Amino acid sequence: MSKISKKLICLIEDDAIMGESLVYRFELEGITCDWHQTAEAALKKIGHQDYSILISDIRLPDMNGADMYEQLLQSNHPIPPTIFITGYGNVNDAVALIKKGASDYITKPFDLDTLVEKINTLCGEPDQTVDTNMPVLGVSSVMHEIERSLCRVSGHDATVLITGESGVGKEHAANYLHRYSTENTKKSFIAINCGAITESLMESELFGHEKGAFTGAIQQKKGVFERADGGTLFLDEIGEMPLTMQVKLLRVIQERQITRIGGETVTPINVRLICATNRDLKKMVSEGTFREDLFYRINVIHIVIPPLRERPEDILWFTRLFLKELHTNSNHRKYLLPSAEDALLAHKWPGNLRELHHRIERACILSISDALSDDDFDTLASSDSEKSKSHPTELKERLGNFEHQLISEALERNSHQINETAEELGISRKNLWEKMKKLDIHRQH
């Protein structure tokens, strides 16, 4: 039960049984409630009482909710956040009221916990189901099991390999492990994307260099292994690391020490190493593009994060978490209407959590209302319908069309920035350029 303290609600409900039930539940929640059975009685009080929330049935004995709300709009009194109760599954009137400025609606029969949650949201109370002080990977059973596995690993310094599609939250899981490790809680967490660094700069980035070690080395530089000493180093897209660097990384993992480029001093290192990739490292080993000995060194503990489409119960949970994070940078707190929830659940999320975050942020920026509906996620429906219309008969054509669409959408989301797009897709910049040329995708400037 989530308490809502020092709140005064104006309830307009003509049904005695419903009204009594709501008043009783509000009392249990610590909410003070003025209950009126007619719109006229409520209108007399609203102008003279500072209500936190107005909750009204749309169908009232003396006037309907639309007429009552219109009178409030025409008055000079401030209107509290308003939730309308509608029955018979007919939400057209409620949607029309939201377009006029109402905050939300709820359809009979409804769960009282759902109504309390909506009140919490509108009053700016923290959601008791989300602990923002502790990283949580999701509410699905598979993510709970991954959390338990990471907790068991936290007491050991074994190297961890996290795999999964691009955008599933591999770095988030790595950060969870770092923060859960009692010895590393206050130590550094340093993340580096191996696919975003050129081969010529990678050794310096990892191990550092001395002044004068090469042209342009005007001062000494510590590499990420030194900077993460005592903490956690997260090597993302380890599958993109060149073979020449794989040999050097293997030696550092085995010997637990590094030597800067151009230096002679051996520096011991104490880091928890977490690697991640969206590629099949076993297949790369068989193809000779990834060292077998390094694979076994980093694959001590293997965590597989499933794509978002396979754990739909996490979609709305992460959506609300993202909305809460975005609220800290805005004066208005956005929330989802049922139609928006349906649209989000129906989408396949090829970009996983990264795509979800981008879609939520876009909707929050472009929507003029605090209530997000399916109209605010119209690009989901259009992209899904385009996918359903395309049925090429040839496998090669089908894969080409899918790859073209995936890359084009990623470029659009990242403002056609090659580095960011390649990072999201989990491929190297060179690979992205080659695919764009092959698929005749032009970069916009």
> What confidence tens digit (pLDDT) does each residue in 70-87 have?
888 888 778 888 898 887
Domain span holding position 296 = 141-304
Domain of 56, CATH number, reads 3.40.50.2300
Mean predicted confidence (pLDDT) in 127-156: 72
Contact of 361 with 414, CB cutoff 8 Å: no
> What confidence tens digit (pLDDT) does each residue in 216-256 have?
878 888 889 999 988 999 999 999 999 999 999 999 999 99
Highest mean pLDDT among 107-121, 181-195, 344-358, 359-373: 344-358
Inside any domain, residue 165: yes
> What confidence tens digit (pLDDT) does each residue in 293-312 have?
999 999 888 999 999 999 98
Which residues 6+ apart lie within 8 Å of 230 measured at CB? 184, 187, 188, 270, 271
**Is residue 276 domain-shared with residue 157, that is, in the same domain?**
yes
Calculate the alpha carbon distances from 103 to 8, 83, 327 in Å: 17, 6, 16
* Comparison of pLDDT for 122 and 268, the residue scoring more: 268
> What confidence tens digit (pLDDT) does each residue in 25-39 have?
888 777 889 999 999
**Is residue 360 domain-shared with residue 385, that is, in the same domain?**
yes
pLDDT of residue 388: 46
Contact of 315 with 267, CB cutoff 8 Å: no
Mean predicted confidence (pLDDT) in 400-414: 80
SS3 content of the chain, % helix, strand, coil (to 5): 50, 15, 35
306 CB burial (10 A radius; 0-12, 13-18, 19+): middle
pTM (two decimals): 0.60
Please tell me the distance from the alpha carbon of residue 420 to that of residue 416, in angstroms, as a whole number. Answer: 8
The amino acid that residue 193 corresponds to is N
Inside any domain, residue 130: no
**Is residue 240 domain-shared with residue 326, that is, in the same domain?**
no
Range list of β-strands (E), 87-150: 104-107
Question: Which of 281, 304, 327 lies at the terminal end of a domain, its last residue?
Answer: 304
Cβ of 281: how many Cβ atoms within 10 Å?
Answer: 22
**Is residue 384 domain-shared with residue 340, that is, in the same domain?**
yes
Q: Report residue 346 as tokens.
A: 């129906």
Pairing mode, if any, of strands 208-209 and 371-372?
unpaired
Inside any domain, residue 445: no
> What confidence tens digit (pLDDT) does each residue in 311-345 have?
988 898 899 888 888 876 666 678 888 888 888 99
Domain of 403, CATH number, reads 1.10.8.60
Q: How many domains does the chain have?
A: 3
**Is residue 258 domain-shared with residue 390, that is, in the same domain?**
no
**Is residue 298 domain-shared with residue 391, that is, in the same domain?**
no
Inside any domain, residue 66: yes
The residue count of the chain comes to 445
pLDDT of residue 383: 55
Residue 294 belongs to what H/E stretch? helix 292-298
Cβ of 9: how many Cβ atoms within 10 Å?
Answer: 23
**Is residue 275 domain-shared with residue 146, that is, in the same domain?**
yes
**Is residue 192 domain-shared with residue 167, that is, in the same domain?**
yes
**Is residue 315 domain-shared with residue 300, that is, in the same domain?**
no
Calculate the alpha carbon distances from 287 to 282, 292, 312 in Å: 9, 10, 35
> What confidence tens digit (pLDDT) does each residue in 263-300 have?
888 999 999 999 999 999 999 999 999 999 999 999 88
Please tell me the distance from the alpha carbon of residue 191 to that of residue 174, in angstroms, as a whole number. Answer: 9
**Is residue 233 domain-shared with residue 362, that is, in the same domain?**
no
**Is residue 257 domain-shared with residue 110, that is, in the same domain?**
no
**Is residue 64 domain-shared with residue 193, that is, in the same domain?**
no
